Structure 1
Amino acid sequence: MSLPPLTRVSIANYRSIRALHLPVGALTVFVGRNGTGKTNLYRALSLLRAAAEGRITRAIAEDGGVESVLWAGTRTRGPVRLTLSATLGDLTYAVEIGLPKRGSDAALPLEPLVKEERLTLASGARDIALMDRRGPTAWLRAADGGRITYDNELLGSETALAAFRDGARFPELDIARRALLDWRFYHAFRTDPESPLRRPALALTTPTLASDGADLAAVFATLWDVKVDPVDVEEAIDDAFPGARLEVVTGGADCRFALRFPDLPRAFAAHELSDGTLNYLALVGALLSYRLPAFLALNEPEASLHPDLLEPLARVVARAAERTQVWIVTHSESFADHLAAHAGAVPRTILKTDGATAIEGLTVTGEFVDP
Structure 2
Amino acid sequence: MRLLADVAQGRLVNSLAREGGLPSTLWAGPERISQGMRSGTVPIQGTVRSGPVSLRLGFSGDDLGYAIDLGLPTPGSAFAFDPEIKVEAMWTGGVLGRSNLFAERRGQMVRVRRAATGEWRTGMANLHPFDSMVTHASDREDGLEMLLMRERMRNWRFYDNLRTDIDAPARKTPILTYTPALANDGADLAAAVATIHAVGDAEAFDSAIEDAFPGSTIDGDGDGSVAMRQRGLLRAMRASELSDGTLRYIMLCAALLAPNKPEILILNEPESSLHPSLLDPLARLLTTAAKACQIVVVSHSDRLLTGLAGDPDTRTYRLEKDCGETFLHSDEDHYSKWVWPSR
| CA contact 2:6–2:15 (8 Å) conserved in 1 | yes
Change (3 A) 1:367 1:117: closer
Matched, 1:128 2:78: no
The runs of 5 or more residues in structure 2 that have no matched partner are 32-48, 338-343
Deviation at 1:218, TM superposition (A): 1.5
| Separation of aligned partners in 2, 1:336 and 1:123 | 27
Quick one: which of 68, 77, 81 aligns to 2:24?
68
| Separation of aligned partners in 2, 1:155 and 1:126 | 25
Quick one: which of 326, 331, 351 aligns to 2:300?
331
- TM-score computed with the length of structure 1 as normaliser: 0.79
Deviation at 1:342, TM superposition (A): 5.2
**SS of residue in 2 equivalent to 1:194:** coil
Provide the residue aligned with 1:22 in structure 2. none
**SS of residue in 2 equivalent to 1:318:** helix
- TM-score computed with the length of structure 2 as normaliser: 0.86
Change (3 A) 1:116 1:362: farther
| CA contact 2:220–2:227 (8 Å) conserved in 1 | yes
Q: State the 4+ residue runs in structure 1 displaced beyond 4 angstroms.
A: 123-126, 362-365
Provide the residue aligned with 2:175 in structure 1. 202
Quick one: which of 230, 234, 252 aligns to 2:206?
234
Structure 1 residue identity aligned to 2:319 = I
Matched, 1:179 2:148: no
Please report the RMSD computed on the Cα atoms of aligned residues, expressed in angstroms.
2.4
**SS of residue in 2 equivalent to 1:297:** strand
Change (3 A) 1:317 1:209: same
| CA contact 1:88–1:176 (8 Å) conserved in 2 | no
Provide the residue aligned with 1:114 in structure 2. 85
| Separation of aligned partners in 2, 1:250 and 1:174 | 44
If you compute each CA radius of gyration, which structure gives the higher value, 1 or 2? 2
| Separation of aligned partners in 2, 1:60 and 1:330 | 24
Deviation at 1:366, TM superposition (A): 1.1
Structure 1 residue identity aligned to 2:269 = E
| CA contact 2:196–2:257 (8 Å) conserved in 1 | no
The runs of 5 or more residues in structure 1 that have no matched partner are 1-44
Deviation at 1:74, TM superposition (A): 1.3
| Separation of aligned partners in 2, 1:350 and 1:183 | 22
**SS of residue in 2 equivalent to 1:154:** coil
Change (3 A) 1:256 1:352: same
Structure 2 residue identity aligned to 1:67 = P
| Separation of aligned partners in 2, 1:271 and 1:189 | 15
Identity of aligned residues (%): 37
Provide the residue aligned with 1:11 in structure 2. none
Spell out, residue by residue over 1:207-258, the C-alpha distance to the aligned partner (whole angstroms, 9 max, x if none): 111212222211111111234x41111111111111000113687xxx4321
Matched, 1:158 2:128: no
Matched, 1:316 2:294: no
Spell out, residue by residue over 1:264-308, the C-alpha distance to the aligned partner (whole angstroms, 9 max, x if none): 110011122111111111111111111221000111110111101
**SS of residue in 1 equivalent to 2:281:** helix
Structure 2 residue identity aligned to 1:88 = G
| Separation of aligned partners in 2, 1:275 and 1:187 | 15
Change (3 A) 1:53 1:267: same
| CA contact 1:246–1:260 (8 Å) conserved in 2 | yes
| CA contact 1:351–1:359 (8 Å) conserved in 2 | yes
Instruction: Please list, as runs of the form range in 1=range in 2, the aligned pairs for 1:248-287 lying within 5 A after superposition.
Output: 248=220, 255-287=224-256
Deviation at 1:322, TM superposition (A): 0.7
Structure (1/2) with the larger strand percentage? 1
Q: Which has the higher contact order (CA 8 A, sep 6+)?
A: 1
Change (3 A) 1:170 1:54: same
Provide the residue aligned with 1:291 in structure 2. 260
| CA contact 1:315–1:343 (8 Å) conserved in 2 | no
| CA contact 1:315–1:342 (8 Å) conserved in 2 | no
